[in-house]
Structure 1
Amino acid sequence: MTDIATGPGIPLPLVVFDHAPAMPGIAAEAIDRLPSLGPSRSTRVVGAHRRFAEDGWRGAAETRRILALPPGHAPSGDVPARSGT
């Protein structure tokens, strides 16, 4: 289990975790855990480009759906998540 999934038990203003299509369970655990800490929104940063892959921030269900896409549509990168709505 990831540190985020077992983490502090309180909402964090911002957290960033890795997404790798070869290991989808790690990101899924983190995404599933965040709503239990309070409202949160997330987005994706793809590879070394360091720019957002989608416009705007999304809820957990939409982020999880995007990360479950085949690697060509959801390549490796970071998933920043922030507290709030």
Structure 2
Amino acid sequence: MKKKWIIAIIIVLTLSLLLVSKPWRSKPFKDLSPKEISSVSVELMPPHKTIELYESQINELTEILRAVVIYKRVIKEPLAGEGGR
């Protein structure tokens, strides 16, 4: 009976650590501030126009980038169009 409790505690601790650390995702821009961005331009294709963003737009972009989450993905086989080795 004592062995079952130890196994249960180990499982709970492991799951807790996984939920807290969230190793499958990252937020690369979580500490980004508008002061770190000197300028931003967006190129539209077509008509081959470039738009420069204003300071207020850069502030909004910074907020959006801080919320970006990147999830890890394990690829076991080549994607369509990629040659295998």
Higher relative contact order (CA 8 A, sep 6+): 1
TM-score category (smaller protein) = under 0.3
Larger radius of gyration: 2
The two structures have a TM-score, normalised by structure 1, of 0.23
Which structure shows the bigger proportion of residues in helix conformation? 2
